[in-house]
Amino acid sequence: MDTTTVYTANIFTAENDDLLGAVGFYTTQPNEDYDVSVYLSPGEENVTAGSPALTLSGHMETPGYHTLPVEDEVLLTKGEDFSVVVRLTDSWYKYPIAVEAPIRSYSSKATAHAGESFISADGVKWQDITKKYPNTNVCIKAYAKYPSISFNCDNVSVKAGSPSNITVMMGRAPQGIAGYQMQVSLSNPDVAEITGGVSFPDWATLNEISEEQAGTVTMKAVDLGTAIQKNAKEIVIGSVTITGTNEGSTGITVTMPMMTADGGDAIVPCDLTTDISVHEDVMPPTPTPPVAGGGSGSSGHGSHSDVGAAHDVSAGESKSFAMKESSFSQVSISAKTNIKEMMIVVSDVGDSAGGYRCANRSGIPLCGGRASAYQR
């Protein structure tokens, strides 16, 4: 069966120093093979100048608009041209990629300019599409990545009455940072609250804190120097201290109503949200001395604890641990969630395990699994 191969390209100009985040194009037919290449500093006479900075290949089973995320780091420089070249192969249709052109009563206001979209029969010789079809663009787009912000930990777990520090980070600042306004808020202030401990990094030499309502704090800062320069990475934006007040859960959200780069351009990071769980501070029972006939290594009465090294059990995993100071040979733990720094507490009653539980080094019970005790 004959196939049709079409080469199309768009040349873009980077609006900012940034990373390429995704490319998109519109296919008109199902079952099309594609190859996408990105070239930096192309020319109108040579859309594919030099070696590609990125290549993507695959197969589209359905027609329509497709967006392909870019995982590799392709750094764009403000004012620099770059081209996105799409090669589509179709089994029978001669026009596998869509274009936008003025059509009466449909898209009559569509416009295009020379030097934007190109077509080619072989991927080597290119023609500006406006010379053949005025005011026409090929439906190819390029997207920059949003600067990413993150917490220094996921799914924060805090003990009621104990503070926990949470730091907000930015993965990369393509144009540096001149200043920002950041709002940190809790969705359920009955479970936890922001209790002081709001701090700024050293580079934020001019800063301000305001508390607008319960569970919400706004932080403002300016980089008066040049500490956060172009392409800086792993940048600390600020920290807050969260204290649990009641057992339960709450969301914590960070928004950036305003962030500017060096030179005044706006930076628009995506909002960031994670969950905070608060658990009560319950200590394990104090072990009682063994009674007559009991003791370590016997099957008599008594309460004993494994005081050896802390253990880790991953979610879905089962592990058995030898008991050092118990009349039971081992305890088997089946974890529902990840358990870190666990110690095991077993209370022996007669010839059976009267009670057993997992706790962390501070004695806080862990509810991430089930335990079974086996006798010596």
* Residue % of the chain over a pLDDT of 90: 31
Which range among 195-204, 329-338, 346-355 shows the weakest confidence by mean pLDDT?
346-355
pTM over cut 0.75: no
Average pLDDT, the chain: 77
What's the CA gap between 134 and 145, in Å, rounded?
Answer: 32
Q: Of 160, 135, 179, 360, whose CA–CA distance to 250 is shortest? A: 160
Q: What are the residues facing 345 on neighbouring strands? A: 305, 357
Contacts of 71 (CB under 8 A, 6+ apart): none
For the segment 50-100, what is each residue's pLDDT rounded down to a tens digit?
A: 899 999 999 988 989 999 999 888 988 889 999 999 999 876 666 778 899
- What does the DSSP 8-state code read for residue 363? -
What mean pLDDT comes out for the span 195-203?
A: 88
What's the CA gap between 264 and 267, in Å, rounded?
Answer: 9
pLDDT over threshold 70, residue 376: no
Q: Where are the beta strands (DSSP E) in 91-154?
A: 99-100, 117-120, 127-128, 137-138, 140-144, 149-151
- For the purposes of burial, counting CB atoms within 10 Å of the CB of 180, is it exposed (0-12), middle (13-18) or buried (19 or more)? buried
For the segment 179-195, what is each residue's pLDDT rounded down to a tens digit?
A: 999 999 999 989 999 88
Residue 330's pLDDT is: 61
Q: Of 47, 14, 50, whose CA–CA distance to 115 is shortest? A: 47
Q: What are the residues facing 346 on neighbouring strands? A: 304, 356
What mean pLDDT comes out for the span 313-318?
A: 65
What's the CA gap between 295 and 290, in Å, rounded?
Answer: 6
**DSSP β-ladder status, 156-159 and 272-279:** parallel
Model confidence band, residue 314 (pLDDT cutoffs 50, 70, 90): low
Q: How many residues does this entry show for the chain?
A: 376
Residue 296's pLDDT is: 31
Q: What are the residues facing 97 on neighbouring strands? A: 27
- For the purposes of burial, counting CB atoms within 10 Å of the CB of 342, is it exposed (0-12), middle (13-18) or buried (19 or more)? buried
What mean pLDDT comes out for the span 9-20?
A: 88
